[in-house]
Structure 1
Amino acid sequence: MPEAIARRTIYDQFMMALGEGYCPEKMAELLGLPIATISLWLSRLSNLALDFTPGADSPPLQVSAPDAPPGLTLVYTPDVLVARAGQVVTFTADILNDDSVTLLDTNLIPGRQTSAAEGDVIFTGITSPFDMGDLPAGGMRSISFSHTVSEHEARSGGDLVSNLTVSARSAGSNTEVTDHCCARVKLTAVGHLRAAG
């Protein structure tokens, strides 16, 4: 890994690699992250750029500079994009402290399942808050959860959906900060395992 990239936090490394023009696969390799995580970050940046693109009849943007709120980012991704019966899917939650001070009492919390469509299968890696401890400035913590896709789930016609929320308290301002992320895997009956007999 280039020395300039190695000195930064993981999200800074991602932004620097993006600025250097690395392709997503190379970024994943350099940062040691799943390609799904890189794809999600790129998608979030793309959506953010669209949010700030003014329309033809929009007034010019008025920029103010309020105090920046403490930063906490949850990136929750599966290790595959499509899964079949019998396949183990691993979901990884990366919790990033984007702030310049420590975040205290960082907790991973089961997210509300508000985005499930008909046929979706809900996977909950945790059922109660999970203490991730204090998170230093620029630091990251990760935890993974696995789920084996059943035959019934593979035939559902939906996605395997998992939601998580992370919350913490800023040591600098005593402000509570949260972030939410939803991970999805397309379920397919193609290549499913046949029952014996």
Structure 2
Amino acid sequence: MINNKDINIRMIIHVAKRLGNLRDKVVFVGGCATGLFITDPAMPEVRATQDVDVIVEVTSRMEYYRLEEELRSRGFKQDLSENAPICRWLVDVIKVDIMPTQEEILGFSNRWYLPAIKNADHIKLENELTIKLVSPPYFLATKIDAFKGRGGGDYMASHDMEDIITILDGRPEIVSEIRSSSDD
């Protein structure tokens, strides 16, 4: 059951609506999606995030440029502020990080993005609004890879590690899901 009181989920819904039919090309991933995986009703609320993360499979820079044009036509604007990552967009007041699967597009990636897209789940958020969501095992894989790349070994201050622990604690079925997932 979707917890509509979770501010992260409300942000996801807003971004999903603004994406329109581009929603079919992206997979939601990252800390903003953590609350969508929690099945333990006794779990406290997940941490609020500052952005919505999506991944998209594009195979060339030209294809990424076309995606950028489609985003602009839907009211998305590139975030050109000083410390914004190259993948950051703004839609209304929401920060959206749109990350391609191919490292050569923006100069970074996560080794789990492509298999995460291939194994994404479709979930219904409200009425007729459905999104593609990274599966729980791939969520953990992307978070572990992200922590290894940016966590600096600081387990206590890492939001990636916090999200991993939240899923391990708040989703009792995660062990069986990992066991039954592909060997990637």
TM over 0.5: no
* TM-score (normalizing by structure 1): 0.26
Give the greater-gyration-radius structure (CA).
Answer: 1
More helix by share: 2
* TM-score (normalizing by structure 2): 0.27
More strand by share: 1
